[in-house]
């Protein structure tokens, strides 16, 4: 009897300190996300190139910024690895190439088949999880509303000319409207090739089809409304379109 007790205790001690994540053959790795903002499968250029939307309006883009957050990698068996939420707020700014390269370290080893991320900031998470630490970046990049405590999820500005009409500017500032309207969206994408993480670095290329901001689930004509800021009718339509614009390359 005594021996059995000792044996059990000894075994307990040996196994008690084993860390589930530490194993000789399984190591955390890095996943790089590379965002490309494109139209007609060509990376966009600011100010110079003229594009045409489904409403036959030509437009040039002066500024394109959006917030990506809450990044989760999903394994074949459905298990999820959530990147630390407090570190997962990113601002994609077309003007700054480095902002389109996101490097995520300490990704748990495994075989991943899907990625999920948020467009904007999930206000149901307010104010926890470090979202406030995104304020300096957001204010520097003009992604805070001056009169409100919310983030702009999308800032999309430029000039447009309707068919046979006169040129004007367009301004799209999309975010949530306090508690009244939540425009945060989640996007889940199947990876074209599964990614195996075991101490290595892998890259996922994500293409954002910017034409879909105007034309996707909803069609938006700039002649109808070229200034969308805290617009409870049009902002949710634009947010719904944004949700469809991402694709794995």
Residue with tokens 């394994």, as numbered in its chain: 75
Residues 121 to 140 in contact with another protein, rule: CB under 8 A = 123, 126-128, 130-136, 139-140
Of the two residues 10 and 167, which places its CB atom closer to another protein in the complex? 10
Alpha carbons within 13 A on the beta-carbon side of 85: 12
CB of 5 to another protein, least distance (A): 8
Please tell me whether residue 15 binds another protein under the rule CB under 8 A: no
Q: Distance between CA 115 and CA 112 in Å, rounded?
A: 8
Q: Does 149 bind another protein (CB under 8 A)?
A: yes
- Angle at CA of residue 31, ends 89 and 80, nearest 5°: 75
Does residue number 247 form part of the binding site for another protein (CB under 8 A)? no
Helix (H, G, I), strand (E, B) or coil at 231: coil
Q: What is the dihedral of CA 131, 136, 138, 140, to 10 degrees?
A: 180
CB of 205 to another protein, least distance (A): 31
Q: Which residues pair with 31 in a beta bridge?
A: 104, 202
Question: Which of 85, 48, 73 minimizes the C-alpha distance to 204?
Answer: 73
Segment contacting another protein (CB under 8 A): 4-12, 49-57, 94-102, 204-212?
4-12
Could you give the CA distance from residue 192 to residue 11 in angstroms, rounded to a whole number?
44
Q: Which residue do the tokens 């068996």 mark? A: 77
Instruction: Report, in Å, the least distance between residue 88 CB and another protein.
Output: 14
Distance of closest approach, residue 136 Cβ to another protein, in angstroms: 4
Window 193-232: residues binding another protein (CB under 8 A)? 230-232
179 binds another protein (CB under 8 A): yes
* 5 lies in the site for another protein, by CB under 8 A: yes
Q: Are 55 and 102 within 8 A, CB to CB?
A: no
Residues that bind another protein (CB under 8 A): 2, 5-6, 9-10, 12-13, 16-17, 123, 126-128, 130-136, 139-140, 144, 146-150, 177-181, 230-232, 235
């Amino acid at each position: 009897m005594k021996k059995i007790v000792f044996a059990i205790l000894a075994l307990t001690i040996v196994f008690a300190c084993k860390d589930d994540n530490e194993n000789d053959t399984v190591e955390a790795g890095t996943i790089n996300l590379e965002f490309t903002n494109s139209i007609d499968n060509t990376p966009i250029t600011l100010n110079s190139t003229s594009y045409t939307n489904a409403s036959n309006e030509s437009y040039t883009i002066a500024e394109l910024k959006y917030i990506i957050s809450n990044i989760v990698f999903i394994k074949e068996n459905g298990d999820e690895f959530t990147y630390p939420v407090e570190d997962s707020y990113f601002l994609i700014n077309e003007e700054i190439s480095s902002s389109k390269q996101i490097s995520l370290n300490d990704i748990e080893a495994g075989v991943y088949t899907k990625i999920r991320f948020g467009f904007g900031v999930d206000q149901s998470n307010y104010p926890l999880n470090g979202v406030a630490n995104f304020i300096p970046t957001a204010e520097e990049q003009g992604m805070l509303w001056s009169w409100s405590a919310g983030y702009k999820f999308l800032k999309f500005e430029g000039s447009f000319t309707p068919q046979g009409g006169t040129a004007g500017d367009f301004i799209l500032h999309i975010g949530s409207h306090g508690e009244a309207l939540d425009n945060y969206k989640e996007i889940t994408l199947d990876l074209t090739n599964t990614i195996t993480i075991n101490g290595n670095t892998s890259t996922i290329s994500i293409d954002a089809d910017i034409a879909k901001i105007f034309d996707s689930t909803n069609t938006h004509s700039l002649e109808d409304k070229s200034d969308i800021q805290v617009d409870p009718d049009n902002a949710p339509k634009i947010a719904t379109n944004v949700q469809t614009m991402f694709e794995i390359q």
